[in-house]
């Protein structure tokens, strides 16, 4: 019994709970009570992972101004503070979703600024940029690259870029579910 439960659990990529494993085993002609399967899972310390739901973090359907693509897929920098890339991701916590805005210097491939919040707002990305500016002694003419999301097109974000003499760049419109090219370059 334990072996069959463990095999079904592994086949589910460690995501299924006792009820789903019961369904899988029944499909194979093996009928067991859900409590028996649950006890087997506890005995073997089989704890299912929570499935992570996909959440869209970019809304580029807006009428806000869009900056030109100054990077044009060139995510290499010869020195620090030439090119920074910003993005927003999300994290599931015990208290709900948190959004994380990061600013990465493309030369050392290091996070230079970040901000977390419960909502994806312009303030979230502004705080990440402010931290990066402060930590890097307020460089000028740095290219600040991002997607075309509302937060990065907002007036407060554009004003911040202008005030500190930075150059805003935005990616071409991506299709849903694609990884930004600068982020994909970290993977290779």
pLDDT tens profile 72-102: 888 999 999 999 999 999 888 777 889 999 9
Residue ending a domain, among 12, 27, 43, is 43
- Cα–Cα distance between 102 and 57 in angstroms, integer? 13
Q: Which domain holds residue 144?
A: 83-187
Residue 117 falls within a domain, yes or no? yes
Counting other chains too, the contacts that 92-99 makes at CB distance below 8 Å and 24 or more residues apart are 92/50, 92/52, 97/55, 99/57, 99/124
Domain CATH code at residue 102: 3.30.420.10
For residue 34, give the H/E element and its range. helix 34-43
Residue 62 falls within a domain, yes or no? no
Confidence of residue 53 (pLDDT cuts 50, 70, 90): low
Look at residue 176 in the predicted model and tell me its pLDDT.
Answer: 47
pTM for this prediction: 0.63
Q: What is the pLDDT of residues 105-139, one digit of tens each?
A: 999 899 999 999 999 999 999 999 999 999 999 99
- Residue reference for tokens 């030109």: 68
Look at residue 187 in the predicted model and tell me its pLDDT.
Answer: 47
Percentage of residues in the chain having pLDDT higher than 90 = 48
Look at residue 143 in the predicted model and tell me its pLDDT.
Answer: 97
Look at residue 92 in the predicted model and tell me its pLDDT.
Answer: 82
Residue 61 falls within a domain, yes or no? no
């Amino acid at each position: 019994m334990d072996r069959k439960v463990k095999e079904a659990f592994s086949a589910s990529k460690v995501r299924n709970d006792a009820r789903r494993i019961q369904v899988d085993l029944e499909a194979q002609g093996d009928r067991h009570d859900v409590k028996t399967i649950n006890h087997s899972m506890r005995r073997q310390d089989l704890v299912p992972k929570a499935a992570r739901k996909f959440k869209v973090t970019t809304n580029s359907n807006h009428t806000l101004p869009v900056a030109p693509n100054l990077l044009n897929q060139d995510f290499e920098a010869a020195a620090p503070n030439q090119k920074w890339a910003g993005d927003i991701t999300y994290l599931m916590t015990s208290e709900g979703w948190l959004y994380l805005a990061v600013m990465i210097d493309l030369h050392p491939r290091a996070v230079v600024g970040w901000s977390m919040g419960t909502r994806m707002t312009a303030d979230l990305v502004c705080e990440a940029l402010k931290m990066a500016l402060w930590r890097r002694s307020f460089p000028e003419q740095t290219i600040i690259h991002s997607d075309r999301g509302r937060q990065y097109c907002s007036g407060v974000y554009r004003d911040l870029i202008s005030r500190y003499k930075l150059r805003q760049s935005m990616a071409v419109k991506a299709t849903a579910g694609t990884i930004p090219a600068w982020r994909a370059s970290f993977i290779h």
